[in-house]
Structure 1
Amino acid sequence: MLDDDTPTTQVKAIETAEDLSSIAFSFMASKALFAGLHADIFSQLSDGPKSAAELAKAVDIPINRIVMLTTALASVGVLVIGDDEKIENSPAAQSFLSKQSKYDFGDYLRYQIDQQMYPFLLQLNAVMKGDLTEDAISSYKHWMADEEQASVYSESQHAGSLGPGRTLARKVDLSAARTLLDVGGGTGAMTISLCKAYENLHATIIDFPNVSEIGWRFISEAGLVDRVRYIPGNAVEVQWPGNQDAILMSYLMSGVPGDDVSALLQNAYDSLAPGGKLLVHDFMVEEDRRGPALAALWQLQHMAFTPDARSLSVGWLTEAGKKLGFEVELADNLIPAMTKLVVFSKPA
C-alpha cells in the first residue's frame, strides 16, 4: 500500500559559523575515509586493535601519516582510539569497510565514489552556469562508452547494490512472476538477488555493451547463466521485450535527462503483461523538498554530469505513473534516508 503517513522531513536551520564550517569542511572527512580504504586500514584492523606502529608496518605507510590519518578518522567516529592508544574499527567500519566482512561495500566507496563521483562535483559550478564544455562527461551514455571508466563504475556499483538487492527481494513479492526485465541493470546485482529469492524467475538485463560484458562474469559466478540474459545497448534507445511480469529500474531515472523519465515510464507500461509490476528504486526527495539530505545530495551529484537530470519525488513519480494507467501498490524507503522504492502494477 502507499505510505501516506510518512512524516515531513524536519531540518533545523543552521545558525553558527561552526555549523557552516562543518558543512564546508566535510569533504575532508570523506577524503580521509577514502584514504583509509585505499590504504586497507579497516581490513587490517578487522582482527583487533593495533598500535599506530603496528598498523603502519602492516600497511607499509610511514607512521606519521598513519597517526595523522587515524586521528582524523577517530575524530569523526570511523575509528576508535582506546586509552592504551591502540586503534580499532568502529562498529560501522568493522561491518561495512573490512574486506573480511560479509557486508563490505568498501570497493563501492573506494572506486566509484572516490575516483569517479567525487571528481565530477568539481564541474558543478560549470553545470549551474551552463558552461560545461563539450568534452565533459554529460551523461552515462558517453561515460559508459569508455571501457576503463565503465569497468570501475560497474564493479564498484555491484558491491554497493548487493545489500539493497537483498532488501528489495524481501520487500516485493514476485512469487507469481516468471519474467523480469532489469532496465539499466548494470552488472546484475539486483537481478542476482531477486533470482536467488525467486527460483522460477528468468531475467533480461539491458545495459551498455561494456557494462554487459562485465556483468556476465558476475552472472556466471552466481550460477545464473541459464536464467539471465543481456541486451547490450542504451536503455532509452533499444527495443524492450514485451509481456514482462516485472520490470525493475534501479538508479536509472536519476541518471538520465529529465525528458527521458516519462518515456521510461511509458516503455515500462507498454512492455508489462497485464497484472505486471514496475519497481522503481532511486534517490527521491520529499514533496516539501527539505530532504532527506542524502537523497537531495545524490540528485545534485547526478546533475553534475547529467545537467538536465530531474529531481525525483515520490509524489511526482506516482502521479506520473497514474496518468499512464498504473496503480500504486507501495511507496516506502529502501535504503533509509537515501532511496525509496515505488511499486506500480498494470491493471489485469
Structure 2
Amino acid sequence: MVTPTPLMQLVAGVWGFKTLAAGVDLGLFTRLAGGRTMTVEQAGAEFGLPDRPADLLLAACASLDLLEKAGDGSYRNSELAEQFLVEGRPYYFGAQIRYSDLRTYLPWHRIGEALRTDRPLTWDPESQQSMFDTADPEMLAQFWDAMYSTSSFTATALADAYDFSAYRRLLDVGGGAGAFPIEFCRRLPELRATVLDLPHVCVRARERIAEAGLTGRIDAVPGDFLADPALPGGHDVILLSMILHDWDEPTNRALLARCHAALPPGGAIVVCELLLNDERTGPPEAALMGMNMLVETEGGRNYSAAEYGAWLTDAGFVDVRTVPFDAPGANGAVVAHRP
C-alpha cells in the first residue's frame, strides 16, 4: 500500500540537517573525540543547556547514527562522527555543514522565487559578476573551507577509482584550495601539479599546500579559466572537478575546447561530478545538487555522463569512458584523451 510516509521523511530531512548543524556548531563531536563519553547531565553542564534540550539533542544525534549510546546511558561518537566531524581529522566535514547552514539554507526557503525568475538567491547578479565575487572575506573563507572539506575525501575516492600514475603534470582547473592535487601528490611521488584559480583563492591554496608539505611540487597560478584565452600548458592531464555544474552548456563547451588545446597528444581530461543518469531521473544527490545550482548560480545544472561525453567528443577528445565511485562531491568521472 502506498502511504505518505516517504513524504514525511522528506519533510523531516531539514530537521536532521539542523540537528547535525547544531551538534557541529556546539562542538559536540569534537568534545567526544577519542572515545570520550558524555551523559545528558554532562552535556547540559558543558554546553550550558537545560536538561530537556540536552536530552533531545543527544537522542536525535543517536537516531541519525552520529552518536552511540552505551549501557550506562552515556553517549559517544559513532565511527562516522569520529572520522568526519572531529575538528583536526584529515577529512573533517564540518566546514561544509557550517557553510550550508549559514550560506545556503535560508535562500533555499525562497526556492519558489528562483523557479519563477531563474535567478540565483545567494548573490545578486546586478551587482556581482559571480557567486565568487564578494567583499565578504569571512564568507569566502567559509566557502573555500567547505569546498576543501568536500573535495578531500572525494579526491581519495577518485584516486582509488582511476589510476593517475601514468601522468607527470596535473592541471587542476578551478582547483580551489588544492584538495585534489594534495591528495594525488601524497600518493604519487613523481606527480607535480598546478592549481589554476582566482588570485585570492591561490592565497588559500598556497596555505593548504604549505601545510601539507608540498610547496615544491604543487603550484598555485592565478587566472580566470572563463576569461583567459588559453589555459597553462605543459600538463599531461587536466582535472575539472565539480566545476562544470556551475555553468551552462555553451560555457562548458568553450572550456572543454580550451582544455583540448592545452593538452599534448595523448593527454587526458578528467571531469569529476555528481552525474545524472541518462534519463535525468536521478540519483537524488545529483538531481538535488542541480536544484542547488538554481539557488547559487545563473546557468549551472547537473549533467549526465552522456552529455559530458558528447561535449568531449565534439571538442575533439576520444576514448570517452565513465569511472563510477562513491564520494560526497561526486559519483563518477568522465575520462577522455586528446588523440
Please report the TM-score for the alignment, with normalisation by the length of structure 1: 0.87
Q: Is the 8 A contact 2:294 2:300 kept in 1?
A: yes
Q: Pick the aligned partner of 1:141 from 103, 110, 130.
A: 130
RMSD: 2.5
CA separation in 2, counterparts of 1:207 and 1:126? 31
Is 76-85 or 31-40 further displaced after alignment?
A: 76-85
Aligned to 2:28: 41
- Partner AA of 2:167 in structure 1: A
Which position in structure 2 is the counterpart of 1:199?
Answer: 189
Percent of residue pairs identical: 26
2:335 aligns to what SS in structure 1?
strand
The partner residue of 1:274 within 248, 261, 265 is 265
Partner SS, residue 242 of structure 1 = coil
Q: Specify the alignment match of 2:75 in structure 1.
A: 87
- 1:261 offset after TM fit, Å? 1.1
Measured at CA, do residues 145 and 192 of structure 1 come closer, stay the same or move farther in structure 2, by a change above 3 Å? same
Q: Report the equivalent of 1:213.
A: 203
Separation in 1 of the partners of 2:120 and 2:158? 38
- Structure 1 residue 216: Cα displacement: 1.1
3-state DSSP class of the match of 1:309? coil
Question: Do the aligned partners of 1:79 and 1:87 also contact (CA within 8 Å) in 2?
Answer: yes
Equivalent residue for 1:56? 44
| Contact 2:153–2:327 (CA under 8 A) maintained in structure 1 | no
1:3 aligned partner: none
Equivalent residue, structure 2, for 1:190? 180
* 1:290 counterpart (281, 297, 301): 281
Decide which of 324, 334, 338 is 1:342's aligned counterpart. Answer: 334
Deviates more, 1:96-105 or 1:203-212: 96-105
CA distance in 2, matches of 1:321, 1:131: 27
Residues 122 and 295 of structure 2 are in contact (CA less than 8 Å); yes or no, is this contact kept in structure 1?
no
- The CA deviation at 1:271 is 0.8
Q: Which structure exhibits the higher relative contact order, with contacts defined as CA atoms closer than 8 Å and separated by 6 or more residues?
A: 1
2:3 is equivalent to residue 24 of structure 1: no
* Map of 1:9 onto structure 2: none
Counterpart in the other structure of 2:254: 263
- Gap runs ≥5 in structure 1: 1-13
Structure 2 gap segments, 5+ residues each:
none
Q: Are the structure 2 counterparts of residues 272 and 120 from structure 1 closer, same or farther at C-alpha, using a change threshold of 3 Å? A: farther
- Residue 151 (structure 1) aligned with residue 138 (structure 2): no
- Equivalent runs, 1:234-273 vs 2, <5 Å: 234-238=224-228, 239-273=230-264
In the alignment, is residue 323 of structure 1 matched against residue 323 of structure 2?
Answer: no
- Distance in 2 (CA, whole Å) between partners of 1:131 and 1:194 is 37
Alpha-carbon offset, residue 151 of structure 1:
1.1
The separation in 2 between residues aligned to 1:182 and 1:118, in whole angstroms, is 29
Q: Secondary structure at the match of 1:126?
A: helix
Of residues 194, 214, 230 in structure 1, which corresponds to 2:220? Answer: 230
- Between the aligned partners of 2:178 and 2:18, the Cα distance in structure 1 is 29
Matches within 5 A, 1:65-104: 65-99=53-87, 101-104=89-92
The Cα shift of 1:23 comes to 0.6
| Partner residue, 2:95 | 107
Q: How many corresponding residue pairs?
A: 333
8 Å CA contact 1:56, 1:66 repeated in 2: yes
Partners of 1:135 and 1:96 lie apart in 2 by 27
SS of the residue corresponding to residue 141 of structure 1 reads: coil
Change (3 A) 1:98 1:148: closer
The structure-2 alpha-carbon separation of the partners of 1:18 and 1:170, relative to structure 1 and needing over 3 Å to count, comes to closer
